[in-house]
Amino acid sequence: MSSSDLLAGGVAAAPADVSAQPVLQLEHVTKRFGGATALNDVSFDLLPGEIHGLVGENGAGKSTLMKILSGVHSPDEGEIILGGESVTFASPKDAKAHGVGMIYQELSCMQQLSIAENVFLGRHLTGPGGVIAWGRMQQEAREHLAELGLNVDVTAQLGTLSLGNQQLGEIARTVFSGAHIVVLDEPTSALSGPEAEKLFEAMANLKTRGRSLIFISHFLEDVLAVSDRVTVLKNSRKVATLPREGLTKHRLIELMIGRDADQLAESYEEGIQLPPRSDAATVLDIDSISSTGAYEDVTFSVKAGEIVGIFGNLGAGMTEVARTLFGQTVAEQGRIALDGAPVAPRTTSQAKKLGIAYLSENRRKTLFPRHEIFKNISLAHLDTLLGPIVQQKREIEIADDLVKRTGTRPANPLLKAGNLSGGNQQKVVLAKWLTKTPKVLILNEPTRGMDVGAKREVLDLVKTLKNEGVAILLLSTEPETVMAESDRVLVMSRGRITREFAGERVSKDLLMEWA
């Protein structure tokens, strides 16, 4: 038996019966949001006892398709056929009632409750008089989890388990509440190798018991390891559904990227030439930092006036490294130096005083939409810029200058930040870090969710800072963004830097190969 015929952990993957009647069919599904088409005439089917991989770049339509299946969205065109009958899901609760269970990347379990309570969350077993049957619940939870290869004390708090075992607990809750179709959205993104293997064994176990699974992942090697068939989406359309046998990671990348001659990204697909290495002074130097379960032996540097891009898929470890540099977490090993001097920021305040600024991947966490633009801009620097007594007039003056500098529209610092478009909100978040020019600026997904025009404006701001000598670290799951803006490019996968590109040609498919 070849390695491609095995699931991780040595579990044989018995092929699904391709001649069987599908348990699920999505026929010619189209979904629009305003003027944008998120899914365009997509058909998808799932066989009994099958693990069906679903892959595509960010924005390809994977999440929208699964949200339609799980009852979050309704299709504008097309239909869902379940067990041979056309169905309409009015809500996620309705989809669950039809046997469709969704396991999201962000787990919905309650860490303070016991493992048994989580397995039966929302449907506690009761005895006479409506009293909760704790003993029976614990016994059944123990049996359910054992079937997935997890033998634990079910009376312990769920939060005491590793992330991988918590995920198995959530799968147990979904399956044993009656789901015969289980959708797993990026389940391995934050798991270690052994935890991922345990998950794959559980998936194989469910498959042998007749459950059908849809497996969404950016880790193409994982998809190839566990799937019977793989469907590829690109630009809101289905490109192909192929059997796993003979399918390679390189072929999947080709299908995901495509070679459309009329696309603006064509030059990126062919590759771009990175500039020669900079001979400027090193500002940030990272030497072999590690944090258990997050990243391992990470080493790189960023020079003055240089943009170093880090590309990786969700869960690659980029965000965890960024949070360590900004004092939100602490590395267990290794060394961080700023301008040649060792530093170890343990709070965000310490990081800011050192001259490190961090633009989070989630602007909602760093923006206060109900407050005025000037308050959002001045908040991070009230103590250092405005003195012990905050003067609103001074706040507004500083913000007025920065909204003009960043091209925020409307350029009125008295407006509520929540009234701005997504691109202009991002400019406000960036402006917050320009009140005092940082030594190091870390940008995590700075253009995610923006239209082309807004992306260009934000990235032009970043280039202005680069020309002013700021050392910039640009993290993104979008290869085009990293390639277009970076002087050097690093690739991260599963917590490690797998490749550096400098002074050479780099292409989108090369980045994806190393990720």
The structure tokens 């559904």 sit at 241
Give the pLDDT of residue 363.
Answer: 67
Buried b (16+ CB within 10 A) or exposed e, 440-477: bbbbbbbbbebeeebbebbbebbeebbeeebbbbbbbb
Q: Tokens in use for 114?
A: 């016991």
Give the pLDDT of residue 11.
Answer: 46
The structure tokens 């179709």 sit at 181
433/311: higher pLDDT: 311
Dist. CA 187–CA 324, nearest whole Å = 24
Rg, C-alpha atoms of the chain: 25
pLDDT band at 393 (very low <50, low <70, confident <90, very high): confident
Which of 40-49, 125-134, 430-439, 472-481 has the largest mean confidence?
40-49
Give the pLDDT of residue 265.
Answer: 42
List the single range of 62-71, 190-199, 338-347, 410-419 with lowest mean pLDDT: 190-199
Report the pLDDT averaged over residues 11-39. 82
Per-residue pLDDT of 362-379, as tens digits, reads: 766 778 888 999 988 887
Give the pLDDT of residue 9.
Answer: 40
Which CATH architecture does the domain made up of 259-355+438-515 adopt? 3-Layer(aba) Sandwich (3.40)
Give the pLDDT of residue 361.
Answer: 82
Residue 87: left (phi > 0), alpha (psi -120 to 50), or beta? beta
Element (H, E) at 110: none
What are the residues facing 213 on neighbouring strands? 51, 182
CATH superfamily of 1-11+22-99+180-258: P-loop containing nucleotide triphosphate hydrolases (3.40.50.300)
Report the pLDDT averaged over residues 487-494. 96
Report the pLDDT averaged over residues 276-292. 97
Report the pLDDT averaged over residues 81-100. 93
**Nearest-10 crossing angle of helices 422-432, 392-406:** 120
What residue spans in the chain does CATH classification 3.40.50.300 cover?
1-11+22-99+180-258, 259-355+438-515
Give the pLDDT of residue 266.
Answer: 42
Give the pLDDT of residue 35.
Answer: 78
Report the pLDDT averaged over residues 49-75. 91
pLDDT band at 165 (very low <50, low <70, confident <90, very high): confident
Report the percent of the chain where pLDDT is more than 90: 48
